[in-house]
Amino acid sequence: MKYRRMYLDSYSYYLTLVTQGRKPLLIDNIDVLRHAFKLSKEKYVYDIEAIVILPNHIHMIIRPKISTEYSKIVRHIKRSFVYGLSQELKDQAKAEISHAKYNRGHAGIWQERFYEHTIRDEKDWLEKMEYIKYNPIKHNYVENLADWRYTSFK
């Protein structure tokens, strides 16, 4: 059975993007990631309602102006990030994936898919916000939320 994503106008979407093999690439390349988001914001209209970036994954809630574009937004962020990485990192990632995956356009930097959850109501939104907010603590990166720099929660 093929998975079908929901595209509902005026909804927010909770998204999780994970690096291939959970490699800790994101914080070490935070400027590249920020630039990838900047490029996506130039092409697509969406609000980031909450975000946390950890070394190997991102959790965020976005509200796209056009609901059917959230998959395109994710794809654009992922591709822009890959393009901005050093050739050495790209070569290392390429060496760790199969030829079949590489031939399908997989760079070996991100997991092929991403997790999506359509936010259905305020309770759902608040639960996802709390999850995002405390994720660096959950993963033992910090004890105090204020110590994690890579979040929309200050």
Known catalytic residues? 150
Q: Tokens in use for 143?
A: 């004890």
CA distance linking residue 12 with residue 112, whole number of Å:
22
75 contacts 116 by C-beta, under 8 angstroms: no
Cα four-point dihedral sign 17, 112, 86, 141 = positive
